[in-house]
Structure 1
Amino acid sequence: MKLLAVKPGEEVIATLSRCAAEAGITNGAIVSLIGAIDACAISNMPATDANSDVVTEYRQPFELSGTGEIVDGKVHVHVVLGREGDMALAGHLHWAKVDTFFVHAYTLSLSADDR
């Protein structure tokens, strides 16, 4: 298992992509994602069209948890975001900015035999 860390001043998807490449993880699982972010964009599908995305941007702090995968070097993450008022949002993470805290991704790499 490898820990990929996103520090203040970094963007989550770009940093995880870079760190995975540096660790030699081309294909694998993001088993657990935990931390806090200050802004992000997530998407969900409209009820009438499973092939479309509705992307919404948020500029506020969130607690973050999630899981995902790395396929052919591309990071794909789904998250649950907790915000003020004990409310939660969930969706596909397009980008997230860490300014105050951190995000940690615990990853497992797949070998060629595992695919």
Structure 2
Amino acid sequence: MVYPTPSLISPSGRGRNLYTMLHQKLTPQQTYIVSLAPDDEILASLNQFVKDQQIKSGYIIGIGAVKSARLGHYSVKSKRYTERKIKKPMELVNLTGIITTGKVHLHATLGTQMFQTFSGHLAGAVISAACEIIIVETKEEVKRKKDEAVGLELLNLKNNQVTRC
């Protein structure tokens, strides 16, 4: 691996080279399995669980079924989310997320009866049948920092270890 000199790293910590990435080693700590019931709201339920368990950082995976959802798409150009409400039963094909500073950030892929999919930032969803989730808490706390160029709070990794691929 080749590590870039400090001059190759921009003030935001993001490299100018397309293939520069920041990374931080995380240690898995506790693993939880969570089952949500019909009419539970996914994001609110997970944020409450994370708060109750005092989980600062980690990652989330899950599957299930929803009766309604709100998905978002972020435009880097306008620095705004466009949100779409879906008010019909759908399979929650994939739920993935990151917990940083005790807050849950989720993305989802939803499937219709006709095998069409919708995906994006999960702004909210209500369970229709069930939702089964695994949460892995990490020992190290991961935080976010506003990146003005992108307009979002991005991962602010400790020590900002840089790898150039």
With normalisation by structure 1, the TM-score equals: 0.87
**Alpha-carbon distance, 1:12 to partner:** 0.5
Q: Specify the alignment match of 2:51 in structure 1.
A: 21
- Counterpart of 2:39 in structure 1 is 9
Does 1:93 find its partner at 2:122?
yes
Q: What is the CA deviation profile of residues 87-112 of structure 1, one whole-angstrom value per residue up to 9, with x for unaligned ones?
A: 001100000011x3111221110113
Distance 1:84 1:50, change over 3 A: farther
The correspondence for 2:90, drawn from 62, 75, 79, is 62
The answer to whether the 8 A contact 1:28-1:71 is kept is: yes
The code of the aligned residue for 1:54 comes to: T
Q: Which has the higher relative contact order, 1 or 2, with Cα contacts under 8 A spaced 6 or more apart?
A: 1
Pick the aligned partner of 2:65 from 36, 46, 50: 36
Whether 1:53 and 2:88 are equivalent positions in the alignment is no
Distance 1:49 1:60 in 2: 31
Percentage of identical aligned residues: 24
The count of residues paired between Structure 1 and Structure 2 equals 112
SS in 2 for 1:94: strand
Larger Rg: 2
TM-superposed CA distance for 1:2, in Å, is 0.6
Distance (Å, rounded) in 2 between the aligned partners of 1:93 and 1:109: 20
Do 1:5 and 1:16's aligned partners in 2 also have CA atoms closer than 8 Å?
no
1:49 counterpart letter in structure 2? K
Distance in 1 (alpha carbons) for counterparts of 2:103 and 2:73:
19
Task: Report the aligned-residue RMSD.
Answer: 1.9
Unaligned runs of 5+ in 1: none
Contact 2:57 2:141 in 1 (8 A): no
C-alpha change, 1:108 and 1:61, in structure 2 (3 Å) is same
Distance 1:85 1:19, change over 3 A: same
Q: After superposition, what is the alpha-carbon deviation per residue over 1:28-86, rounded to whole angstroms, capped at 9, x for unaligned?
A: 111x211000001001134x726221100010011111210111111100111001211
In structure 2, what is the equivalent of residue 103 of structure 1?
A: 131
